[in-house]
Amino acid sequence: MESQFIEISPDTVIHLRLVKEASVSDKSPLLVFLHYWGGSSSTWYKLTSPASQWSLSSQYASVALDFRGWGQSTGPEQAAAATAKDYSVTPNASDLVTVLERLKSNPATAGLVRNGIVLIGHSMGGKVALAALGKASDDILRLIKGLVLVAPAPPTPLVLPPEMSEQQKRAYDTAESVQWTVQNVLSTPLAKDDVSLIVRDSRAGSQLATEGWILHGMQENIVAALDNVSSREIKVSVLAGELDVVEQKDRVKSEVVETLSAKGFLVTFAVVEGVKHLIPLEKPEAVRRAVEELLVN
């Protein structure tokens, strides 16, 4: 697993984890993993690490990003005019498009994207993936073979009641609050190491990155941006957790699946039984299956 850093601007540098095993065919597409609010590129380790029993690394090269302000990525924290809005969906989507363009133009990595790209976004990462479609050039759009959206935040806006919004703002205040949120809201029981990973990642997020989703990202309406996508027949696999209270399955169906279907995307939908919101950690085999089926069909 190789770390790379791509400079978007002097104050924004995006970290990514690149995995390419010797067994991967040069004809395989690149998998691009996009994490949830509070996560990092490490959230996807069960699907990207060669040591994991659910890993896709023997079949596909993969890149897992840290969004600005999360993991090892930086954003305009020190700029005098920086605000939480600089960490919302649209700036993250712009970063993603720039990363894909740099991978394509760099001779050392151009071969990774030559046979296409699959965007795999979890929660906030799903909304960023959709927003990126509206920002990508035709050259990048032609490379995108499909999207796998895991418990995705919808492209429509969500405004929480004040009390719930305040609870969310405090969710990552301390290690104890993160652990409580994981165990009582985000997931079914997880291994101790996974809980520790989530606590570490959630606490490492910058203040502006943490606020960016709560104050702006959730409320962003990116539906109109999808009208600009020139290649409408993009395959999209959508997964929802049966027990998810963050992105409830009925809302995912009505506001993600139906919205995308109405715009001409080729959408399939599946409910993953017995899990809540952290599907990549709770049931990684469901994500693996969705990726494989999208690329076979």
Instruction: Tell me the average pLDDT across 20-34.
Output: 91
163 vs 1: which has the higher pLDDT: 1
Instruction: Tell me the average pLDDT across 203-213.
Output: 92
pLDDT at 1: 76
Q: In what order do the strands lie in the sheet with 117-122?
A: 2-9, 12-19, 61-65, 30-34, 117-122, 144-150, 235-241, 266-272
pLDDT at 161: 63
Instruction: Give the tens place of pLDDT for each residue, 265-281.
Output: 999 999 999 999 999 99
Give yes or no for residue 231 having a pLDDT over 60: no
Give the range among 96-110, 146-160, 220-234 with minimum mean pLDDT. 220-234
192: region left, alpha or beta (phi > 0 left; psi from -120 to 50 alpha): alpha
Give the range among 3-17, 170-184, 188-202 with minimum mean pLDDT. 170-184
pLDDT at 78: 64
Instruction: Tell me the average pLDDT across 234-241.
Output: 96
pLDDT more than 90, % of the chain: 80
Half-sphere exposure of 227 (CA within 13 A, CB side): 4
Instruction: Tell me the average pLDDT across 229-241.
Output: 85
Give yes or no for residue 291 having a pLDDT over 80: yes
Q: What is the DSSP string of 220-273?
A: ---TGGGGG-S----EEEEEEETT-SSS-HHHHIIIIIHHHHHTT-EEEEEEET
Assigned token pair, 157: 């806006």
Instruction: Give the tens place of pLDDT for each residue, 86-128.
Output: 999 999 999 999 999 999 999 999 999 999 999 999 999 999 9
Instruction: Tell me the average pLDDT across 7-23.
Output: 93
pLDDT at 79: 62
The mean pLDDT value of the chain amounts to 92
pLDDT band at 27 (very low <50, low <70, confident <90, very high): confident
Give yes or no for residue 232 having a pLDDT over 80: no
Give yes or no for residue 80 having a pLDDT over 80: no
pTM of the model: 0.96
pLDDT at 208: 93
Q: Give the list of residues 6+ apart from residue 101 with CB closer than 8 angstroms, or none.
A: 137, 140
Give yes or no for residue 236 having a pLDDT over 60: yes
Question: Cα separation of 39 and 97, whole Å?
Answer: 20
Give yes or no for residue 217 having a pLDDT over 90: yes
Domains identified in the chain and CATH numbers = 2-296 (3.40.50.1820)
